[in-house]
Amino acid sequence: MCGRLSQYRGIHDFVAALGMPNALANSTGDQLFERYNAAPTTQLALFHQEGNVLHADMVRWGWRPHWAKDRAAPINARVEKVAHGPFFRAIWPHRAILAIDNWFEWVDEGGPKKQPYLIRYQDQVPILCASIGQYPNADHEPSEHDGFVIITADSAGGMVDIHDRRPVTLSPELAREWLDPGTPKERAEQIVLLQGEPTEAFEWFKVDRAVGNVRNQGAALIAPADPALL
């Protein structure tokens, strides 16, 4: 996963996609997010659960442990290692869901510049990405060190031609189980290792190269590219 995504709907659209009747502690506001071209370090709306309460907070995309000061903050964590490696040990218990509308990948097709592709569900419902992080909760006030990473897995099928890694995306039922503090860590690991949504649920298409500039925003970035301009 190359590190660019869209989160343009509002928090209540994403809550509806999760299908959680829980009380909502919302710190993100009620307006549309309108982030069509979000890059690492962007503050994004992130869900986590405390007791029976669903929390939505703006959290920076990217995290590293305090002892890893000599390296950039990763934005993704490989599902094969995340539960047992030392780097993410501190935040593995802190499960979250990043709800997005789509993500982007760049493909070398032999031209002067790589071609961006947009990837989304075929039915265009929100995508629920398994994540972990350090974020505000009952025992932790907001901190400059807060952040999150998206868990990724190997791509399969035709998506391999777009990129070899992709987010681990969950059905609403599994996303709720992932968020539930009562879900054992062993079960959580099995969810992300074995039960992510299949490639067949997605579609992808070329978009305008303007998405390559992080300063560009707007709905035009998520529209299929005009073949005459490619």
**Which residues have CB under 8 Å from 3's CB, separation 6+?**
39, 40, 75, 76
Q: Active-site residues: which are they?
A: 2, 105
Taking residue 96's Cβ as centre, other Cβ atoms within 10 Å add up to 25
**Which residues have CB under 8 Å from 133's CB, separation 6+?**
46, 48, 59, 63, 91, 94, 96, 146, 147, 148, 149
Three-class secondary structure of residue 56 per DSSP: strand
Judge contact between 17 and 7, C-beta under 8 A: no
Nearest 5 degrees, angle CA 91-CA 119-CA 214? 75
d(CA 174, CA 180): 10
Could you say which DSSP state residue 28 is in? S
d(CA 24, CA 28): 11
